[in-house]
Structure 1
């Protein structure tokens, strides 16, 4: 009851703020819910164990994430009823793929509800059914958009956001297997195959874009490209949870995720250096962008995959242990930095909107 009251209070405050300032979230904003959710459920729960997951902090962080998710859902409905849904969430061809964050964000919230408040069994079950419907709509939109990209040959704008098709699909696997027990193997296998197919197709699109066109690492390399290893990590976790894939294949997926992680993050470090030289520290890296939540999600998902996988080979066990003990502090440090940047952005946006209220009565949330 205490946690329910806390959820109601937080949601009421967020709803009032969103409604009173007519805040319409960007399509990718739900990535914040994805990131916080996987850090709570996959990183902190695993590392600190039952004392954290069954205690106050686990439930408190889950409530915060659930309240954010509900507030963002309300903002999306506001955009729909206000006639702005198409403009904000659909008009931009590539941005449509970001709707996958809504599916994945809902999945992690359903998993948190089931894990932390299992007395409310019917709520995560209802949420699961609704999320599967949302996933079907999203996949339909994604397939339509992929066909449009092929037909118009507009590959130059694609980036890692396309891989949210894989992330959303495998999040459905994790959600359904958490909430419902004894699902048919054919159902799990179908989702797994669909997720991997989307990974292969979208990775090809991204590779084609960077190989076949000229680009600048400072301007044209997107934060979302880190989903290349994040999507593979969540696919690996889905394979483990369904128990339909043998250990050798899961090890192969994990090793592949490590290699892609090292490759992508090496590019990211080089990009960071180039951006600092080109734009300076403040504009180069110390600035908020909603897509940065995607990086936190992918790091946390890779950490969770590493924690979950079982290994017998001495070298792989050593690598796993190092990632577990060092990785948690990297993930938490990235989260703190992102919260600071996001908070500064929100405050500046709010103050600016207050000054310009007589000119414009609507603001866009990050």
Structure 2
């Protein structure tokens, strides 16, 4: 579902914005159809997990992994927005999906609160990472979804309430994450202990800013402040990521240090796309920071394009390697 979120935000928040000067209708619909197909296939895998009674084992037993359910909410929001913008004749269907997604979000928030309690009770605070911030991402995705599907009909107090809930979760979860890493930074094995999902530290701020813009809940000064915060956190987190990359290459070599697929890498592409979308929508051309925004808009689109192509290549390679491994294991069983 993180892949769905990444492809979806790049379709709607990056390519559609950057190439708005040309007719991207067909291209947008094709990418949207591809994203929706991914979402449907992953949704089917969740149904299979329920059928095989593996759901609790995979998604619930570990309190930290429970936060991953937030990708279901956010990816459903993304797909619903894509359908609403590219296939308006299906708007009525999207409204029903939106209602179901709000119910799913409410359930997820309850699960997350219980998970936070269990993390404290089981003393797992030394294992937390950016996945906790999916509480904020999923909440603000609901704001984006409601204001896309129902537009001006969404009450102001609903927007404010959701934005504040998402912000509250960000503060709580960010404190837990930062406390984990700052407390042990001297002995931190950054190659193994720093998680890809920590990039959601800036992605969650970006989606909050985008939700504020779309809901018209705050003025331009607040939007500017959120962009500055998002850019600052982006810079710090990505500098850590670059340092981690050099450490991994030094330890594992270029091939095993760089060209390794992990599903959590999609979260990085999602956060890059979200920061780009916030920058594009908040750009006014005035102010001391406008040149930085202009650079992000003009260069960022190509960086994100290269990243997603690279990620698709890694994912296909990972699938092939897994298939070969399964074939060899099956052959060994048969030979025995």
Please, what TM-score do these two structures have when normalized by structure 2?
Answer: 0.95
Partner of 2:100: 130
Partner of 1:102: 72
Q: Relative to 1, partners in 2 of residues 1:208 and 1:118: Cα closer, same or farther, differing over 3 Å?
A: same
> Distance between the aligned counterparts of 2:24 and 2:86, measured in 1?
8
Partner of 1:203: 174
Q: 1:43 aligns with which of 11, 14, 21?
A: 14
Structure 1 residue 339, shift from structure 2 partner: 0.2
> Distance between the aligned counterparts of 1:117 and 1:50, measured in 2?
20
> Distance between the aligned counterparts of 2:17 and 2:283, measured in 1?
14
Aligned length: 331
SS at match of 1:357: helix
Partner of 2:62: 92
SS at match of 1:169: helix
> Distance between the aligned counterparts of 2:24 and 2:104, measured in 1?
29
Structure 1 residue 310, shift from structure 2 partner: 3.8
SS at match of 2:288: helix
Partner of 2:252: 279
Q: Relative to 1, partners in 2 of residues 1:52 and 1:75: Cα closer, same or farther, differing over 3 Å?
A: farther
Q: 2:322 aligns with which of 326, 349, 355?
A: 349
> Distance between the aligned counterparts of 2:216 and 2:174, measured in 1?
25
> Distance between the aligned counterparts of 1:331 and 1:188, measured in 2?
30
Q: 1:333 aligns with which of 306, 327, 335?
A: 306
Partner of 1:114: 84
Partner of 2:269: 296
Partner of 2:130: 160
Give the root-mean-square deviation of aligned CA atoms.
1.5
Q: Relative to 1, partners in 2 of residues 1:50 and 1:179: Cα closer, same or farther, differing over 3 Å?
A: farther
In the alignment, is the contact (CA less than 8 A) between 1:44 and 1:52 conserved in 2? no
**Greater displacement, 301-310 / 44-53:** 44-53
In the alignment, is the contact (CA less than 8 A) between 2:136 and 2:204 conserved in 1? yes
Please, what TM-score do these two structures have when normalized by structure 1?
Answer: 0.88
* Structure 2 stretches lacking a partner, 5+ long: none
> Distance between the aligned counterparts of 2:144 and 2:310, measured in 1?
28
Is 1:212 matched with 2:180?
Answer: no
Partner of 1:7: none
**Greater displacement, 58-67 / 42-51:** 42-51
> Distance between the aligned counterparts of 2:142 and 2:260, measured in 1?
32
In the alignment, is the contact (CA less than 8 A) between 2:190 and 2:244 conserved in 1? yes
Structure 1 residue 50, shift from structure 2 partner: 6.1
Q: 2:194 aligns with which of 198, 221, 225?
A: 221
